[in-house]
């Protein structure tokens, strides 16, 4: 089996970066339906391609709370209640949370004290059931903007499309 070779992303403008990254993510996941395998490779791809990140990863919903899944970065909080912190808020509100300064977010859960800004995208299966959240942290204030929101949401949609939806239903 050949190793996936991701070409170095040569662009500095965000729309182009996310377009290239989306193509790489789709190629990386092509033919693989296991969500854990795809989540692990997806995290590595994003972590190494998107500048100024100190953590990125998945929290999967187990039917009562979010539980850490594959990630890149320092060890993370293992369980997060719905409605708590940025991840739990994204899951509970069903809306992407774009947080310019995590210190201003009421109830922020600091897994890595270096984190200054965060974006969290909630994930749902084809029936609207919560799968979990995609969480990305940066040690830079105001790191994420609307272009990052659009890019991260598109990446999450690609991840969902490339995974076996029956695995999500069993977990919900």
Residue 9's closest CA among 115, 34, 18, 1?
A: 18
pLDDT at 109: 86
Mapping DSSP to helix (H, G, I), strand (E, B) and coil, where does residue 95 land? Answer: coil
Distances (CA, A) of 58 to 8, 9, 156: 24, 23, 10
In 30-171, alpha helices (H)? 35-49, 85-93, 146-161, 165-171
What value does the mean pLDDT of the chain take? 90
Under 8 Å between Cβ of 162 and 142: no
DSSP state of 3: P
| Pairing verdict, β 130-138 and 117-124 | antiparallel
| Residues 13, 18, 19, 21, CA torsion sign | positive
Residue 172 pLDDT class (50, 70, 90 cuts) = very low
Instruction: Sheet containing 97-99: give its strands across.
Output: 79-81, 65-73, 55-61, 130-138, 117-124, 97-99
Q: Which two tokens stand for residue 155?
A: 């990446």
Could you read off the pLDDT of 110-160 as tens digits, one per residue? 877 899 999 999 999 988 999 999 999 999 999 999 999 999 999 999 999
Q: How far apart are CA 75 and CA 125, in angstroms?
A: 27
Quick one: pLDDT at residue 107? Answer: 85
Q: Which CATH architecture has domain 14-171?
A: 2-Layer Sandwich (3.30)
Domain residues of the chain, as ranges?
14-171
Rg of the Cα atoms in the chain: 15
Which residues, 6+ apart, have CB-to-CB distance to 78 below 8 Å?
67, 68
Q: Is the model's pLDDT at 6 over the cut of 80?
A: no
């Amino acid at each position: 089996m050949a190793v996936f070779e991701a070409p170095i992303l040569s662009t500095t403008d965000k729309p182009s970066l996310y377009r290239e990254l989306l193509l790489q993510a789709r190629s990386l996941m092509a033919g693989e339906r296991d969500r854990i395998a795809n989540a692990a490779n997806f995290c590595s791809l994003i972590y190494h391609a998107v500048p100024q990140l100190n953590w990125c990863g998945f929290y999967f919903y187990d039917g009562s709370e979010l539980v850490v899944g594959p990630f890149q970065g320092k060890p993370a909080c293992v369980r997060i209640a719905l409605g708590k912190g940025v991840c739990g808020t994204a899951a509970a509100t069903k809306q992407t949370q774009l947080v310019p300064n995590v210190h201003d977010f009421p109830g922020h859960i600091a897994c890595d004290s270096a984190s200054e800004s965060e974006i969290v995208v909630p994930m749902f299966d084809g029936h609207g059931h919560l799968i979990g959240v995609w969480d990305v942290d940066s040690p830079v204030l105001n790191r994420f903007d609307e272009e990052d929101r659009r890019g991260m949401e598109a990446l999450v949609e690609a991840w969902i499309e490339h995974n076996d939806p029956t695995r999500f239903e069993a977990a919900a």
